[in-house]
Amino acid sequence: MLATRIGTLVSPIDPDDLLEQPYAIGQNEVEIAPDSTFRRDREMIVVFLIYNPTVTVGKQFDVQVDYHVFHRAADAAPDTGTDHPPARTGERYVSHTTPQRFNPASMGARIDPASGQPLLAGQGILLSSFEEGEYRIGIIVTDLLSRKTLSRDVTFTVAGS
């Protein structure tokens, strides 16, 4: 989901009220972006849920999420970088964020994915240094216990301030 804001709720939403607030997740409420265009003076937030990570008998889990940003540009040169996923034809690599880790040490003991509880993941990116145009954020989720990965792309547009 692309969002404009993530707020903190005073308490979790009662299940009977979820129809009124469908983007309330635990004690967070996601304000969904009306479209995929963001102004340069704003922050673009991508939010998603991670289900079913490997969980040990001791309730240990360890998931890493990497975010890589690519700009669609007609004049993009072939990508020769090796420290990131390759850009696609017509793209150039822009940047990445610090990898996020989701495990009991970083999230606390109250999170129990073995019970079916998803992990809420997301990243905000300030767009002030971005040129106007179309972008793709490549998201790589790695379950560090099973060594399985899942990749997804989210596209968005940066418009003037």
pLDDT at 81 exceeding the cut of 70? no
Predicted confidence at residue 78, as pLDDT, reads 66
pLDDT at 77 exceeding the cut of 90? no
- As a whole number, the mean pLDDT across the chain is 90
pLDDT at 75 exceeding the cut of 80? no
Q: What are phi and psi of 105, to 5 degrees?
A: -65, -35
Between CA 146 and CA 26 the distance in angstroms is 26
- Can you give the pTM of this predicted structure? 0.88
**CB-based contact 2:36 (threshold 8 Å):** yes
Strands annotated E in the chain? 2-8, 24-25, 28-32, 37-39, 43-50, 63-72, 91-96, 100-102, 119-126, 133-143, 148-159
Predicted confidence at residue 2, as pLDDT, reads 95
The CATH number corresponding to 2-159 among 1.10.287.70, 2.60.40.10, 2.60.40.3880, 1.20.1290.10 equals 2.60.40.3880
What does the DSSP assignment read for 85-101? Answer: PPPPTTEEEEEE-PPEE
pLDDT at 91 exceeding the cut of 70? yes
Q: What is the mean pLDDT of residues 27-56?
A: 93
**CB-based contact 138:85 (threshold 8 Å):** yes
Predicted confidence at residue 106, as pLDDT, reads 92
22-38: per-residue pLDDT in tens?
A: 888 878 889 999 999 99
